[in-house]
Amino acid sequence: MCKISLKPQPLLLSLGLLGGRGGLAALVLATCAVVAPAQVITGGFSCTVVDRQDGNPLRKARVVLESPALFQPRVYSTDQRGEIRAVLLPVGNYQITISQPGYLSAKLSDLRIGVGTNLSRTLDLALLPGVDRVKAQAGELAMTGAR
C-alpha cells in the first residue's frame, strides 16, 4: 500500500542519493503516492438498455450521465449487447437519461455513486406506436434521421 508523505524533502534526498538502481524504487514510490488518491475517490456505473416488450438489447442507445461532480455531462452509446460502462466517476449524485430513436426516453434521478461503488442497472425503454421494432432495436432509425 502506498503511503503519502507530507514532507517531500526525504523523497527528494533519496532520489538524489540513490542514483542508479535505487532511483527507480524511489520513482515508483513517488508515482504510487500520486496515483493512489484517484483509486479511492471514484466509482463506476454500468447498464444494459433493453426493449421493454421483448427484452432484446438496444444498440446505439444514448446514455447521458449528469452530475454537479462532473465538469460536463458524459455521453455514451450502447454496444451490440446494449451495454455501457462508465468508470472513474467522481463521487456524487447523478441523473441518467437514456434515449433511442423510436422509443420513449427514460430518466433515473438521484443515483448515488459512492467511493469504490460499481452500480449496475438494467433499463428498459418502451417502443413508440407505429415504429418498426427491428430497425429501432438495431439503432437504424438514428442513421436515417427518423424519430
> What 3 state SS string does the chain have?
CCCCCCCHHHHHHHHHHHHHHHHHHHHHHHHHHHHHHHHHCEEEEEEEEEECCCCCECCCCEEEEECCCCCCCEEEECCCCCEEEEEEEECEEEEEEEECCCECCEEEEEEEECCCCEEEEEEEECECCCCCHHHHHHCHHHHHCCC
pLDDT for 141 = 83
Rounded to two decimals, the pTM is: 0.69
Sorting pLDDT into bands at 50, 70 and 90, what band is 25?
low
- 105 and 71 in a single domain? The answer is yes
- 11 and 82 in a single domain? The answer is no
Q: Which domain holds residue 131?
A: 42-144
- 85 and 55 in a single domain? The answer is yes
- 14 and 67 in a single domain? The answer is no
Q: Is the pLDDT of residue 18 over 60?
A: no
Give pLDDT tens digits for 58-79: 999 999 999 999 999 999 999 9
- 31 and 91 in a single domain? The answer is no
Domain count, the chain: 2
- 56 and 109 in a single domain? The answer is yes
- 18 and 61 in a single domain? The answer is no
pLDDT for 140 = 86
CATH number of the domain encompassing residue 68: 2.60.40.1120
Across 19-46, average pLDDT: 59
- 96 and 125 in a single domain? The answer is yes
